Amino acid sequence: MTRRRRVLLIANNFPPVLGGSASVYANLARCRPDKILVLAPARNYLTGERLEGWPEYDSTAAFRIRRLPLLRTVLRTRTEAGLSNLTFMVGDLFIRMRVLIEVLRYIVFCQVRSVCIGELLASAWLVSVLRFVPGIHVTVYIHGEEITTEDSYDPRHERARQTLGMAQSIVVVSRFTLGAVEKLLGPDHAGQISLIENGVDTELFTVGPKSEALVSEYGLDGKFTFITVCRLLEKKGVDVAIRALPALIARFPDTRYVVVGDGEFGPHLQQLAAELQLTEHVVFTGRVTEEKLQDHYRLGDVFVMPNRRLTNGDTEGFGLVFLEANSCGIPVIAGKDGGSPDAVTDGVNGLVVDGNSVEEVARAMIALREDEELRARIIAGARARASRSDWHEKAESLIALSDEMDSVPIHEDMQSWGQILAVASCSIVVLLLAAPYILLIRIAEWLPARHSQKHV
């Protein structure tokens, strides 16, 4: 039976959430709205709060987005006990059931043949279920930090290894991530892995003049401006860039540094700038909307994000922001750790430095500040690099993974939609009937542990 094959992309991080992975998934769907459907949450899994602006985003998107309240439970900062833990388990169970029912609905009614999962551990259960659904190709999208960062939930990455082993395809976004996955899985799984490097929206991020309104708002008139656009996390190296500023300011007093974004490391960065008496030279804009992002990039004469690897293994999987800056005609300074060397070639579209070295970062910033010939050469390389990284090619590569599996036949007894619907309906009924028993098992596991705690 010939079917119009579609891909269902399941993403916990999706606009209006800002960040690299959210941008990746949105751009893939934007480039092939006829092929790629999106399942995303309406609430933030970090806080449980409603995502501000998602109805407005969805109403203007050129592709189909289906929102459920949550695709996973809200992240817990500590282990709950007693009734709180029971509530958490029940909530987790019903979220999973609702997600599975929605996925099965897409498979039956929307001609989905491939399911692409954008969060490894939180959606591991879905990979293990979908592999039993006939004719469905399961792809897991890996950015890097999810298998390089230490995780108390999966300390030896055994769950990650098992989940990736069950997927038909694994997409990695950089050679760094490719090496990490190959190391985790071993040589027997090489045929599952496909490298699809991140791209850039060259129609959104373009060369243009600085916004006079923003120049006035941030006090940048006549100033040479370094800029960073990112979530404010320790691994991004913004603190190192701030520590490098005094060396620049001593030679170039007109230097300014604009930091765009928010995050858990933000208060530390603001305190650091105050301690170094740099508040006149460093501007923290906070989070900006996607509509204003291009104008903020264009404020920069040089983009700097000297990312580094933290002691727990957390690092940059690729560095999509480097390509976005390049597409705006801006040279970049990147750290050498993680996957950023895949995005930035030293001396071509930017400079690559040791993100742990204040001195090395300062030298790179000074070089791009004072050497106009070097800056002009790298700007040309930046534009060329961005032009080769259009998202349309990346979307086609993702779709091709499921098309390659078209040779896998669907069972003869499932050749009609009615039969497929029957199987899906039966699956839902079984899940509903099994739910009370699963819940009783979880309670039975919890009660002895609770009893033993009382007698300690």
Query: What is the mean pLDDT of the segment spanning 270-279?
Result: 97
Mean pLDDT, the chain, rounded, equals: 87
Is the predicted pLDDT of residue 407 greater than 50, yes or no?
Answer: no
Is the predicted pLDDT of residue 82 greater than 70, yes or no?
Answer: no
- Kindly give the interhelix angle for 20-31 and 320-327, rounded to the nearest 10 degrees: 60
415 vs 60: which has the higher pLDDT? 60
221-389: CATH topology: Rossmann fold (3.40.50)
Residue 422 has what pLDDT? 44
Structure tokens belonging to residue 328: 């705006």
Is there a shared CATH topology between the 6-199+392-451 domain and the 221-389 domain? yes
Residues 6+ apart with CB under 8 A from 167: 117, 127, 131, 138, 139, 140, 192
Is the predicted pLDDT of residue 317 greater than 60, yes or no?
Answer: yes
- C-alpha to C-alpha distances, 354 to 149, 163, 273, 431, nearest whole angstrom: 20, 34, 21, 52
Query: What is the mean pLDDT of the segment spanning 360-384?
Result: 97
Query: What is the mean pLDDT of the segment spanning 197-212?
Result: 95
Residue 416 has what pLDDT? 44
406 vs 54: which has the higher pLDDT? 54
Closest CA to 117 of 91, 142, 150, 134: 142
- Please identify which residue in the block is written with the tokens 């990039």: 297
pLDDT band at 97 (very low <50, low <70, confident <90, very high): confident
Is the predicted pLDDT of residue 427 greater than 80, yes or no?
Answer: no
Residue 14 has what pLDDT? 95
DSSP 190: G
Is the predicted pLDDT of residue 150 greater than 90, yes or no?
Answer: no
**Backbone torsions φ then ψ of 39, nearest 5 degrees:** -115, 120
Residue 147 has what pLDDT? 87
pLDDT band at 190 (very low <50, low <70, confident <90, very high): confident
3-state helix, strand, coil in the chain (%, to 5): 50, 15, 35
Q: Look at 110-114, 193-197, 204-208 and tell me which has the smallest mean pLDDT.
A: 110-114
Residues 6+ apart with CB under 8 A from 158: none
Type and span of the H or E element at 288: none
Is the predicted pLDDT of residue 295 greater than 80, yes or no?
Answer: yes
pLDDT band at 241 (very low <50, low <70, confident <90, very high): very high
Phi-psi region of 4 (alpha: psi -120 to 50; beta: other; left: phi over 0): beta
Looking at the chain, the whole-number percentage of residues with pLDDT higher than 90 is 66
pLDDT band at 73 (very low <50, low <70, confident <90, very high): confident
Is the predicted pLDDT of residue 28 greater than 70, yes or no?
Answer: yes
Residue 1 has what pLDDT? 40
Residue 431 has what pLDDT? 60
Report the predicted TM-score, pTM, of the whole model to 2 decimal places: 0.83
CA dist 32 and 46 (Å) reads 29
Domain assignments of the chain as residue spans, ordered by start: 6-199+392-451, 221-389
Closest CA to 31 of 402, 366, 397, 341: 397
CA dist 143 and 302 (Å) reads 26
Q: Look at 59-73, 95-109, 235-249 and tell me which has the smallest mean pLDDT.
A: 95-109
Contact 184, 146 (CB under 8 A): no
6-199+392-451: CATH topology: Rossmann fold (3.40.50)
Is the predicted pLDDT of residue 145 greater than 60, yes or no?
Answer: yes
